[in-house]
Amino acid sequence: MKPPIRLSARESIIEASFALFSHNIGASLSEVAERAGVGRATLHRQFANRDDLLRTLARLAIAEMNAAADAASADAKSYSEALRATLYALIPLGDRHGFLAREPLEADPDLAKEFERLDQEMNELVEAAKGEGLFDTALPTPWISQVFDSLLFTAWESVKLGHTTTNQAADLAWLTLIQGLGAKKK
């Protein structure tokens, strides 16, 4: 039997932070250190302060969400199908990443650039899905992208509160997106 894989101090702090902050964004760095099984000094050697830790978590969350969306949409036969697959892939990540949606991270220039890049990619995907007839062409593309993001957050919250399962939340979010913003039927 192989011994369990031991995380580095940095990895332990990151995993403890995701776990704690997803249920209590106000958790202290002392609580993070305790959950990670490290001392405060070790935590501060890895992360200068809470903002540094949150920026690191945001970068990791973005990478994890990008990987999930890319994997889910890799075999999509249309942009509409890719958008749907992306939504369904991102909703299960809410328990891990949802708290970051409440944090003002745009002040970090690198994260602001990354958020801008993600917005541009989403707008391009929505525009392509519009071209396929998924959405009403009279609606502004950035509006549809923002609604997508809002529905994603709403789904995360619904699952977190126990109102829905991840699959139910995904179904409801997709239905709301396409029925509320869908192309008009003639």
Query: How many CB atoms sit inside 10 A of residue 117's CB?
Result: 11
* Token pair of 142 as six digits: 């950035």
**No. of helices (H) and no. of strands (E), the chain:** 9, 0
Rounded CA-CA distance 101/113 in Å is 16
Query: In sequence order, what are the residues at sequence separation of 6 or more whose Cβ sits closer than 8 angstroms to the Cβ of residue 103?
Result: 25, 54, 58
Query: In sequence order, what are the residues at sequence separation of 6 or more whose Cβ sits closer than 8 angstroms to the Cβ of residue 61?
Result: 93, 96, 97, 100
| Residue pLDDT, tens place only, 114-155 | 889 999 999 999 999 999 999 999 999 999 999 999 999 999
In 3D space, the residue among 185, 159, 183, 180 whose CA is nearest the CA of residue 170 turns out to be 159
The pTM score is: 0.86
Q: What is the dihedral of CA 131, 117, 146, 111, to 10 degrees?
A: 170
Looking at residue 135, the DSSP 8-state letter turns out to be: B
* Token pair of 48 as six digits: 């200068």
Q: For each of the chain's 186 residues, which pLDDT tens digit applies?
A: 665 667 788 999 999 999 999 888 889 999 999 999 999 999 999 999 999 999 999 999 999 999 999 999 999 999 999 999 999 999 999 888 887 777 777 778 888 898 899 999 999 999 999 999 999 999 999 999 999 999 999 999 999 999 999 999 999 999 999 988 666 665
